[in-house]
Amino acid sequence: MKNSSLRLWSLSIILIGYSLCIFSAHANDWLTLKIEGVDDVLERNIKAHLGALPKSKVQRRAFIFNAEDNTTAALHSLGFYHGVINEEVTQSQDGPWTLSLSIAPGEPTRLQWIDINFDGEIVEDQFILKWLDTVTIKPGDVLNHGIYEQLKSQLVTIALARGYFDGKYKRSAITINRDLNTAQITLHYDSGRRYHIGTVSFEGHTLNDELLNELIPFEANSLFSTGKLSSLNRELLDTSYFSNIKVLPQIDKPQGLAVPIKVELSPKPSHSIELGLGADIGNTTDNSMEPRVRVTWRTPQINRYGHSQETTAEWSPDKPKFLTSYTIPLTHPLDDQLKIRLGMLRDKYGVTQVYDPENKQFNNTGELEGSKRLLGVIRQQRLDNQWLFSYSVEWMREFYNQSDIDYDPRFILFGSSISKTTRGDNSLDPKSGFFQHYSLEYADPTLGSTIRLARLQTKYKWIDTFFDKHRIVSRLDLGVNLAADDDLALIPPSLRYFAGGDQSIRGYSYQELGPHLDYINSDDQLARQVVGGRYLMVGSVEYQYYLTPTWRVATFIDAGNAFDVNQIEPIVSVGGGVHWISPIGPIKIDLGVGLKETDTVDRPWRIHITMGAEL
């Protein structure tokens, strides 16, 4: 017989003190139970063995009759084999009886050794060896039958999850020496051979079989594990094709050592419509409320090749949007996609002001508005090292009025980007992580654009948690537009850089900050307009402290701005907030305060409400 792994811990002695309770009372209309002489752990275990208090005379008689045996069993289960129990019953004619248990638990039985031994292919399984390192039971511990049973069942559960379906215990026992108050645990497990994953079959779908086979994240005939099946389930879920997924190993129908996998799928409805209502408060020149209505139409599966579409129409008085995206899976349904996007949208940037000679100040009159039409084709791939790589070509035309001059430049932008997100865990509120993004876009008159333009951007976000409750979140955004000085006005607002908002510099409105220019408007008035910059540099550091696992407070400092070579004006804001870690992600309420006035913005304060994961 192959004896491959024998783990025997040396004896260590741990002294455990017991705080004796004067008594603990538990009562109802029929019986009052008093327990004294034991600590809280023993008391809870005794009550669990005694069961619910009686609700009739018959039940009371049975409860009292079995009390000593049940109490003895409770003591034994936690390693006390020399307990002395004094039982006293006080009867009452017009009230509940009283059962008093005075207990002297005696010396506990301690573990002398724990012998865990494996035979079979499980000996070579590194996962099982790592699990052994997590076993906390050790010589010197007080014997606890519950922990022994838990350890025993946990090993069987892990073995089954790893594909050892023929595994069994050759010996599992607790040997007790009551004279010496010692116990020995023996667990000898023979796993047998490990099974493999057999043929994966899909039912209940109308997709191309090759498309689904690409989603299988493991090699054919690979070693069985439920973790691999969970990965398959996640891949299928991430496609958004299905409303219900069941990955069922056919353990009762093995083909030799291969276990067939049946996947039952239920497609999502052919079409879905989602309606959203909201409001944008304080992001207009008069700080008024701007209502928003959004309608999203989705078709998760258009044909057997897995094509899908999503169309969003959003109405608001000043910022209507329409965007539709058509997705075509290429070599992999998730990791290689071609997206075709068509959109029309209007947005506002910065602020426009007119000088009031009487009060000697500039007054807000509006914003720089841009109306854009776009058509883009993007190929997005997830590389083997988990970098997300994309390259694209986008045609766009934008209409805007700057300094009372109308512009409508055309661009054909050739772009490429690469990014990667690393998370310390898969939760919506990760304890650690790092995000990095790099992109390059280029337009040239010889390729159909109005001017020559190169855009470079990079973004970083870093998260780490210290001592469980102390969390740091920092970010850095950098950008540059390379173009001739005479062509700057022909760079549309959507391609320039602005700062301000909850993802930029808090305390200021969205895209409110940036370089400005002064001019004489069509009414012969001195006017000033924030037109954005060719450079961007914005950073933030935030400290968060967890009051509870689901509530935390935060304080932050944001700094930077959008700027030009001849107009650099650093902005700093500080603030704090309260965050709730909800089941759908963090919901944050932050108050930001700007530390200085600019030529176009008074020293502001602003409440920002945001929702969603930070990575």
Domains defined for the chain, CATH in brackets: 31-104 (3.10.20.310), 110-190 (3.10.20.310), 196-267 (3.10.20.310), 325-611 (2.40.160.50)
More confident residue, 8 or 570: 570
Distance (Å, rounded) from C-alpha 395 to C-alpha 375?
Answer: 5
List all residues 6 or more positions away from 227 whose beta carbon is below 8 Å from its beta carbon.
Answer: 161
Residue 120 falls in which region: left (phi positive, over 0), alpha (psi -120 to 50) or beta: left
Closest C-alpha among 257, 280, 266, 192 to residue 236:
266
Take residue 305 and report the two structure tokens written for it. 């090749």
pLDDT tens per residue across span 455-497: 999 999 999 999 889 999 999 999 999 999 999 999 999 999 9
Mean local confidence (pLDDT), 578-600: 90
Q: Reply yes or no on whether the pLDDT at 601 is more than 60.
A: yes
Angle at 522 between CA 520 and CA 524, to 5 degrees: 50
Take residue 592 and report the two structure tokens written for it. 């930001």
CA distances from 114 to 13, 173, 185, 187, 221 (A): 14, 10, 5, 8, 36
pLDDT of residue 58: 94
Distance (Å, rounded) from C-alpha 315 to C-alpha 296?
Answer: 12
Residue 67 host element (H or E): helix 57-77
**CB distance 260 to 202 below 8 Å:** no
Radius of gyration of the chain (CA): 35
Distance (Å, rounded) from C-alpha 24 to C-alpha 563?
Answer: 72
pLDDT of residue 38: 92
Per-residue pLDDT band at 255 (split at 50, 70, 90): very high
Burial classification of residue 428, based on how many CB atoms lie within 10 Å of its CB (0-12 exposed, 13-18 middle, 19 or more buried): middle
Count of other CB atoms within 10 angstroms of residue 283: 20
Q: Reply yes or no on whether the pLDDT at 118 is more than 80.
A: yes
Query: In the chain, pLDDT over 90 holds for what percent of residues?
Result: 78
Distance (Å, rounded) from C-alpha 142 to C-alpha 15?
Answer: 9
Distance (Å, rounded) from C-alpha 570 to C-alpha 559?
Answer: 7
Dihedral angle computed from the Cα positions of residues 570, 571, 572 and 578, in that order, rounded to the nearest 10 degrees = -140
Q: Which residues pair with 102 in a beta bridge?
A: 36, 86
For the chain, the first-to-last Cα distance in angstroms comes to 52
pLDDT of residue 283: 53
The mean pLDDT of the chain is 90
Per-residue pLDDT band at 2 (split at 50, 70, 90): very low
Mean local confidence (pLDDT), 348-373: 90
Angle at 220 between CA 218 and CA 224, to 5 degrees: 65
Instruction: Give the SS3 label for residue 483.
Output: coil
Per-residue pLDDT band at 9 (split at 50, 70, 90): very low
Q: Reply yes or no on whether the pLDDT at 565 is more than 70.
A: yes
pLDDT of residue 11: 27
pLDDT of residue 238: 94
pLDDT of residue 498: 95
Q: Reply yes or no on whether the pLDDT at 150 is more than 60.
A: yes
Considering the entire predicted model, what is its pTM?
A: 0.80
pLDDT tens per residue across span 297-309: 999 999 999 999 9
Q: Reply yes or no on whether the pLDDT at 4 is more than 50.
A: no
- What burial letters (b/e) apply to 296-326, b meaning 16+ CB within 10 Å? eebbbbeeeebebbbbbebebeebbbebebb
Q: Reply yes or no on whether the pLDDT at 15 is more than 60.
A: no
- Give the position of tokens 């008035």: 525
Instruction: Give the SS3 label for residue 442.
Output: strand
- What burial letters (b/e) apply to 347-385, b meaning 16+ CB within 10 Å? bbbbbbbbeeeeeeebebbbbbbbbbebebebbbbbeee
More confident residue, 426 or 536: 536
pLDDT of residue 585: 87
Mean local confidence (pLDDT), 569-574: 92
Take residue 148 and report the two structure tokens written for it. 């022994």
Q: Reply yes or no on whether the pLDDT at 25 is more than 70.
A: no
CA distances from 372 to 50, 117, 405, 408, 450 (A): 75, 70, 17, 9, 15
Q: DSSP of 377-428, one letter per residue?
A: EEEEEE-TTS-EEEEEEEEEEEEEEETTEEE--EEEEEEEEEEEEEESSSSS
**CB distance 550 to 580 below 8 Å:** yes
Q: Reply yes or no on whether the pLDDT at 388 is more than 90.
A: yes
pLDDT tens per residue across span 166-218: 999 999 999 999 989 999 999 999 999 999 999 999 999 999 999 999 999 99
